[in-house]
């Protein structure tokens, strides 16, 4: 880790904005890296993305909702996350409709067509610009992130997140291209060529991301890009596999669907169609005692020691799908044969006896039988609960305080005549979840698996089969990964030139 410089020895920097030639070129990861680099160098950076689209969200300390990527970037910057870092969040409900979350609170559902119409866009623009201004008054530098491609010229007039945001912030903008997918020259040059002259003037450099092979082979390519685009290539960042940073999108989860392994506790996360908050399971994925895989294959589920039903953006729809594809039956069989079943948020709701939706929060179905694994019932509500939580396990011998967060609609209570048996006692004196025994439980607490004591409790019945017995500190692991990412980017980026640009605005 680079030694930290005292903040009063460094100058104030311009905002830095990372934009892309397309989606998934690595903007979020580079933003995370620079948040950590600036922190190491004595600054007090903060991330900002005006508009994000993701099911993977997080609750701020104030109990409001933002995209998970900005929460990760804030963690890399060493500061608490805040809705000003992501004032506008779109949570997809279908291919055409999203829940719109403004300044941390849902304001309704909108179709893509309605959302991108000009009517009402200026009001949203004012909101995101105001959020940026508040953030910039507290932190420096702001590391802004664009969304998708900067060259979607058909959406230019309604764009809130890319070049109009850069202009408002007065940011020095850096264009990111993904060389691994091919066509990096055309995508970078074409993206620049499609910008208006005043927008092109804001671009101060290029990052070529995800390079594989000998970097010397691209030296002439970098010079060609500089000649074509008229700005310097500030870095050619190699592809990496040994640095683990939480991902925003769940597109890679199916690649983690694998057979059970000997010598480890096999944990299967049920692959739901509307799965949300999949980062709940990152800690288990890195735990050397665990083999984690995602699946909706009934044969693979039968080989798991622990089955986790995750959160869902459409609990009742996913529950219907689990019955249709046979996964519901496979979960019940596995439980009868001794497997642990844990439900988190929507998964907890599915484990109960019934789900009621009289207000049609999720659709037209007003009542649906659950899996019947837990003696609880859920009533869907229009009010959304978002909050960070400190809690203790009711069943633990050693009462260690842990942390998690809630993002859900619905209230779950024991069925009539059933005993109260909560999993956790919350810091405010209320209770959460339901526990039948140490192999059958549910909770609303996202992030519960980031707590080493709970993971130790979950794995305890199976530790005789694990070769590795030591507990795993996920928080220390994440800090190590942020430092490794910063070192990786430092080694392949022209940091002195970057600082010169962010200080003077000139190339």
Asked if 446 is an active-site residue, the reply is yes
DSSP annotation of 96 reads S
Q: Pick the catalytic residue: 14, 82, 446, 492? A: 446
Task: Check 35, 229, 345, 377 and give the catalytic one.
Answer: 345
Q: How far is Cα 317 from Cα 362, in angstroms, rounded to an integer?
A: 8
Looking at residue 420, the DSSP 8-state letter turns out to be P
Q: Which CA distances in Å does 451 have to 250, 387, 432? A: 22, 17, 16
- Could you tell me if 22 and 186 are in contact, meaning their C-beta atoms sit under 8 angstroms apart? no
Phi, psi of 422 (to 5 degrees): -70, 155
Residue reference for tokens 């925003």: 248
Whether 74 contacts 64, CB under 8 Å? no
Q: Are 205 and 174 in contact (CB under 8 A)?
A: yes
Partners of 57 in beta bridges: 67
**Token reading at 270:** 């049920």
Distance CA 46, CA 506 (A): 23
Is cis: bond before 187, omega within 30 of 0?
no
Residues 6+ apart with CB under 8 A from 380: 315, 355, 356, 357, 358, 359, 361, 362, 409, 410
Strands across the sheet with 203-211, in order? 46-48, 142-145, 16-20, 172-178, 203-211, 233-238
Residue 345 appears among annotated catalytic residues:
yes
Q: Answer yes or no: are the C-beta atoms of 308 and 268 closer than 8 Å.
A: yes
| Closest CA relative to residue 83, chosen from 66, 70, 99, 68 | 66
Secondary structure of 163-216 in the HEC alphabet?
A: HHHHHHHCCEEEEEEEHHHCCHHHHHHHHHHCCCHHHHCCEEEEEEEEECCCHH
Euclidean distance between CA atoms 133 and 277, whole angstroms: 29
Determine the angle formed by the axes of helices 68-77 and 27-40, rounding to 10 degrees.
20
Q: Active-site positions?
A: 345, 446
């Amino acid at each position: 880790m680079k030694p930290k410089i005292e903040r009063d020895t460094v100058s104030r920097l311009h905002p830095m904005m990372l934009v892309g030639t397309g989606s998934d070129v690595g903007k979020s990861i580079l933003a995370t890296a620079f948040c950590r680099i600036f922190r190491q160098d004595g600054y007090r950076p903060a991330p900002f993305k005006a508009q994000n689209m993701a099911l993977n969200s997080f609750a701020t300390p104030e109990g409001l909702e933002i995209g998970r990527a900005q929460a990760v970037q804030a963690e890399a910057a060493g500061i608490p996350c805040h809705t000003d870092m992501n004032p506008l969040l779109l949570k997809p409900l279908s291919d055409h409709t999203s829940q719109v979350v403004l300044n941390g609170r849902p304001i309704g559902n909108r179709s893509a067509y309605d959302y991108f119409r000009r009517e009402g866009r200026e009001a949203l623009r004012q909101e995101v610009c105001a959020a940026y201004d508040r953030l910039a008054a507290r932190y420096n530098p702001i590391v802004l992130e664009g969304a998708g491609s900067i060259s979607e010229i058909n959406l230019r007039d309604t764009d809130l997140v890319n070049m109009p945001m850069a202009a408002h912030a007065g940011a020095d903008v850096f264009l990111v291209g993904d060389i691994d997918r091919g066509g990096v020259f055309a995508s970078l040059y074409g993206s620049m060529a499609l910008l208006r002259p005043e927008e092109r003037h804001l671009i101060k450099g290029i990052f070529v991301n995800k390079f594989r092979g000998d970097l010397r082979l691209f030296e002439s390519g970098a010079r060609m890009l500089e000649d074509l685009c008229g700005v310097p290539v500030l870095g050619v960042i190699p592809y990496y596999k040994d640095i683990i940073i939480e991902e925003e999108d769940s597109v890679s989860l199916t690649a983690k669907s694998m057979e059970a392994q000997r010598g480890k506790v096999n944990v299967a996360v049920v692959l739901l169609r509307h799965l949300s908050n999949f980062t709940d399971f990152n800690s288990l994925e890195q735990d050397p005692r665990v083999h984690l895989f995602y699946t909706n294959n009934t044969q693979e589920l039968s080989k798991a020691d622990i089955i986790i039903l995750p959160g869902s953006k459409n609990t009742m729809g996913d529950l219907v799908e689990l019955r249709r594809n046979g996964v519901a039956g496979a979960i019940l069989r596995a439980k009868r044969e001794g497997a642990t079943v844990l439900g988190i948020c929507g998964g907890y709701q599915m484990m109960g006896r019934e789900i009621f939706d009289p207000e049609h929060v999720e659709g037209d179905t007003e009542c649906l039988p659950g899996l019947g694994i837990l003696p609880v019932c859920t009533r869907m509500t229009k009010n959304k609960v978002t909050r960070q939580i400190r809690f203790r396990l009711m069943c633990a011998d050693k009462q260690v305080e842990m942390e998690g967060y809630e993002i859900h609609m619905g209230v779950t209570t024991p069925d009539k005549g059933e005993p109260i048996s909560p999993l956790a006692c919350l810091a405010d004196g209320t209770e959460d979840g339901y526990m039948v025994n140490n192999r059958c439980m549910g909770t609303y607490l996202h992030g519960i698996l980031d707590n080493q004591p709970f993971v130790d409790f979950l794995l305890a019945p199976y530790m005789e089969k694990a070769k590795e017995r030591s507990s795993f500190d996920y928080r220390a692991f994440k800090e190590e990964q942020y430092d490794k990412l910063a070192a990786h980017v430092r080694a392949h980026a022209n940091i002195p030139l970057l600082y010169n640009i962010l200080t003077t605005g000139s190339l």
